[in-house]
Amino acid sequence: MATFHLTASSVTVSARNLASFEGLRPSTVKFSSFGTLKPGALTQRSFKSLVVKAATVVAPKYTSIKPLGDRVLVKIKETEQKTEGGILLPTTAQSKPQGGEVIAVGEGKTIGKTKLEISTGAQVIYSKYAGTEVEFNGSNHLILKEDDIVGILETDDVKDLKPLNDRVLIKVAEAEEKTAGGLLLTEASKEKPSIGSVIAVGPGTLDEEGNRKPLSVAPGNTVLYSKYAGNDFKGSDGTNYIALRASDVMAVLS
């Protein structure tokens, strides 16, 4: 399910606000931090741990979902509930999954002479805020467009991601540990790097005739990319990666 973290400074909750969650059944909106709410019982401090969970619930009478067009149905990978050291994570600390298995596909999209399609059974990584979440057969699924799929994961490690179309997988450079004057930086004060090494690239975009246009970057390039672009991932060894579109790569460094 999608999880929205709300704070008192940014959101005022009222009956009118809740009505704006269009298409949701009342039972699918949950306030995890409160029991029975009484008028005047909410304070600014109360909103610090307020979480709204929302997903479209498909009734049991429906036994299948058939995506249309270039959409695919992905069964979302379960959230990690423990750290590698075995420590249980609270719900608020659990990372939202960005991967899963393709369960069903639509007719696909055809550009020129080339048909774009994803195979069922493929393990995929998708953009963080893509698609519509659906609760079906007791599991969480996502319906999204094929273009929202970043790549195909052939192992359990993101470093082996096979990017699709114009996506690029980059190994993020280590953040600077010290200032120019030699002062040690804390984790909170380290600036997020915008430089990294290209690990893998997609086959490129399609022109109007369906021919692939190769990307302007290649594996091994050291590149500078837009600071707030793409989707961040962490490898099994703790290495940071980012997957983004080639258009978000601003320069090749040498």
Spell out the per-residue pLDDT of the chain, length 254, in tens.
444 444 444 444 444 444 444 444 444 444 444 455 555 555 555 444 444 456 899 999 999 999 999 999 999 987 654 445 555 544 443 345 689 999 999 988 888 777 777 889 999 999 988 899 999 999 999 999 999 999 999 888 899 999 999 999 999 998 655 555 655 545 554 456 699 999 999 999 888 888 889 999 999 999 999 988 899 998 888 899 999 999 999 999 99
State the pLDDT at residue 248: 95
Rounded to whole angstroms, how far apart are CA atoms 125 and 98?
Answer: 6
Query: Residues 152, 162: contact at Cβ < 8 Å?
Result: yes
Q: What is the CATH number of domain 165-253?
A: 2.30.33.40
Residue in the structure block whose two tokens are 């052939």: 154
Neighbours of 77 (CB within 10 A): 16
State the pLDDT at residue 204: 92
- Both tokens of residue 253? 């460094």
The domain locations on the chain are 64-81+95-153, 165-253
CATH for the 64-81+95-153 domain, from 3.30.930.10, 1.20.1050.10, 2.30.33.40, 3.40.50.10440: 2.30.33.40
State the pLDDT at residue 108: 86
Say how many CA atoms lie within 13 Å of 123 toward its Cβ.
11
* Non-local CB neighbours of 190 within 8 Å, separated by 6+ positions: 175, 176, 177
At 135, the amino acid letter reads E
State the pLDDT at residue 71: 94
Q: Distances in Å between the alpha carbon of 157 and those of 76, 152, 167? A: 17, 11, 17
Q: Quick one: DSSP state of residue 194?
A: -
Say whether 15 sits in a helix, a strand or coil. Answer: helix
* CA angle at 152 for the pair 149 and 156, rounded to the nearest 5°: 125
- Both tokens of residue 219? 């594996």
